[in-house]
Amino acid sequence: MSPSPDTGRGQAAIKVERASERLTFQGAARWTIIVFTTVAIGVAVNQLFKLRIGDYSMLEGMYLYVLAGLFLSLTFITFRARGPASAVVPWYDWVLSAATLVVAGFFVVTAGQSLDSGWEYAPPNIAVWMSIAFYVLILEGTRRAGGLVLFGIVLVFSVYPTFAERVPDPLSGFTQPFTDVVPYFMISSEASFGIPMRAFGNLVIGFILFGAVLQFTGGGKFFNNLALSLVGGYRGGAAKVSIFASGFMGSMSGSVISNVLTTGSVSIPAMKKTGFASRYAAATEACASTGGVLMPPIMGATAFVIASWLGRPYVEIMLAAAIPSLLYFFCLFVQIDAYSARRGLTGLAAQNRPRVVQTLREGWLYIAVFALLIYLMVAYRWETTAPFYAVVLLLIVNQFRRRDRVSLSGFFDIVAAVGRTLSELVAVLLGIGMIVGAFQATGLTGPLANELVHMAGSSVPMLLVMGALTSFIFGMGMTVTACYIFLAVVLAPALVQAGLNELAVHLFILYWGMVSFITPPVALGAFAAASMAGANAFRTGIEAMKLGGVIYVVPFFFVLNPALIGQGAPLEILFVLICALVGIWLISASFQGYVSFVGPLHGGAFSMGMRCLLFVAGFVIAAPTDLGAGLGTATLTIVGLALALLPLSVAWRAGMQAQTEYSAVPSE
């Protein structure tokens, strides 16, 4: 499929990612990636488990410098300065890689002296020049790994403290010389080596390793087969399998586009083969992959940054995200069921589906590993070390499984894949850390939050709408993690200051930062899936908006009533969850013109009126607040149910009539 004019920057980004997925590094480049990654993981294990190998323990800053030096140096090996993705590493990239090691090594060696002497505010000349060198290397690494848009944003904000006083309010701040700003970025714990890198060093690295090992040892295949065996036989089974399989894989990878390009190569042809329109198959895959990044227990890298930012155990973030994730995937499931029923689509034939018992017998290991992981995180609060225990268990037991046994070469492939993923992430985190540092250095965070509240007229709904639009816009040009960190600095304090729940606010930002993956004109996830399905990109984006429509409203629901993220009394949580599920069921029916488990709403003006009534009823029931009506949520729920009675009765009668007509047809 040729690039559509609607796709713009999106198609270029998708092509780059697709090409990078196929890269296979050989020779010196491959072994450099493997060795550096192995050393970095070894250092992380020593630090997180407090092993004190050689009776030596690193300072946290020293530990982060080691990780940054190793993985940023790999960024210059895995990403090219210009042109298409390539596994051939030019000589100047080797020079940049070596320079990164030298500069980072300087900060590793001087970490203790820097801490004792307060170099972040009064660095010696050598530290200033090394900081500038590190600054330039980080900018280039961010450009390669994060793209020009993110690079431009980081560049502007990194030099912003040098002219902050000349910027009009509300962005005016304290001005500092460039030679003071850059050492602050590189040495302080409030910038490049602040919360984002601490989250990486303490949490992300272990879970990225776990996700890669799980996929390479056959975990992805098992969960796909499990989904096939459980729901593949029902109407629209191929799409329902895509929901579970792509959602799970997205949770591990943390990348929407990578997930679309990997799982979509299987799920999209299967959906088309069983009768799904090309654009609908592509939209389903895009929505499922987007939802995977929002789905516990792993949720990509961003959830760990949230945990570090808020100073809360990761388990709390995981549990809080469970209900919104359930609502999102429930919306997808119900809409696919309605679409399949309306078009008379059947499930996969029995011979094309694995058996449940056989699948569980062959893959019980993966369920056991996940159970161990969750148990260690919930019962013992071992968020930092639990994934390493799970990885060791996976690798040991895997050697007794002939079918998926990982060879020595396969193990090196795992390490290389992890190294490439982590090098990309580190380059981005170091860059956006400078955005955080710029706001800290200029003292702008508090005044900007006050100004946003003032601009919204102290109206919480208006502030939320402004926040949603801001998150959506920045989500177009940044990775999920980069978008979240930027908005956590700029926007979150204003929302919290308005009286909203802090955890709900940070999840609100995360959700709205993800919206751009399925929303035109960018819609990278939808466009990537459309190119694989041979569908029109823009129409696929519109279909994805409809399928994943709940992602636009659920963040408003849980930020206005934190019971939807598990913050409240058990009965209150249960009540709002049931109401939300019922409401989403009705809203989904209004989108598809078919009420799952009830019947169709046939075409025509009357049907359109019934669909609109269903949408209003569903919204009223699902909304966890009184919407300013002063009636109370219980009363509004009753009103919503009353509004839904007429369209439900119409759908039920149509369904009964269709069933009667079907029964009257003589069998051959």
Task: Say if 515 falls within a structural domain.
Answer: no
pLDDT in tens, 490-537: 788 888 888 889 999 999 988 888 888 888 877 778 888 888 888 888
Question: Please, what sign has the CA dihedral across residues 508, 510, 515, 516?
Answer: positive
Average pLDDT taken over every residue of the chain: 83
pLDDT in tens, 86-120: 778 899 999 999 999 999 999 999 988 888 888 88
At which of 163, 194, 225 does a domain end?
194
Task: Say if 543 falls within a structural domain.
Answer: no
How confident is the model over 155-167, as a mean pLDDT? 87
Q: Domain containing 604: what range?
A: 569-656
Task: Say if 114 falls within a structural domain.
Answer: yes
Question: pLDDT value at position 21?
Answer: 53
Task: Say if 477 falls within a structural domain.
Answer: no
Q: Which residue has the higher pLDDT, 449 or 280?
A: 280
pLDDT in tens, 457-495: 667 788 888 888 888 877 766 677 777 887 888 788 888
Task: Say if 518 falls within a structural domain.
Answer: no
At which of 194, 216, 242 does a domain end?
194
Interacting residues of 614 by C-beta distance below 8 A, sequence separation 6+: 586, 587, 589, 590, 595, 601, 644, 647, 648
How confident is the model over 71-85, as a mean pLDDT? 88
pLDDT in tens, 648-665: 998 898 878 867 765 554
Task: Say if 467 falls within a structural domain.
Answer: no
Question: pLDDT value at position 533?
Answer: 86
How many structural domains is the chain composed of? 2
2: pLDDT strictly greater than 60: no
Question: pLDDT value at position 22?
Answer: 54
Task: Say if 136 falls within a structural domain.
Answer: yes
For residue 611, the SS3 value is helix
d(CA 460, CA 463): 5
At which of 168, 194, 220 does a domain end?
194
How confident is the model over 263-285, as a mean pLDDT? 86
Task: Say if 607 falls within a structural domain.
Answer: yes
pLDDT in tens, 22-40: 567 888 999 999 999 999 9
Is 290 in contact with 529 (CB distance < 8 Å)?
no
pLDDT in tens, 432-458: 889 888 888 887 766 666 666 667 666
Tokens (6 digits) for 123: 């660095």
Q: What is the model's pTM?
A: 0.79
How confident is the model over 576-587, as a mean pLDDT? 91
Q: Which residue has the higher pLDDT, 404 or 158?
A: 158
d(CA 600, CA 589): 9
pLDDT in tens, 346-356: 777 777 788 88
Question: pLDDT value at position 101?
Answer: 96
Written as one string, the DSSP assignment of 514-568 is: HGGGTSTTT-HHHHHHHHHHT--HHHHHHHHHHHTTHHHHHHHHHHH-GGGGT-S
* Residue 7 pLDDT class (50, 70, 90 cuts): very low
pLDDT in tens, 170-200: 667 788 899 889 999 999 888 889 888 888 8
Is 633 in contact with 624 (CB distance < 8 Å)?
yes
d(CA 386, CA 203): 10
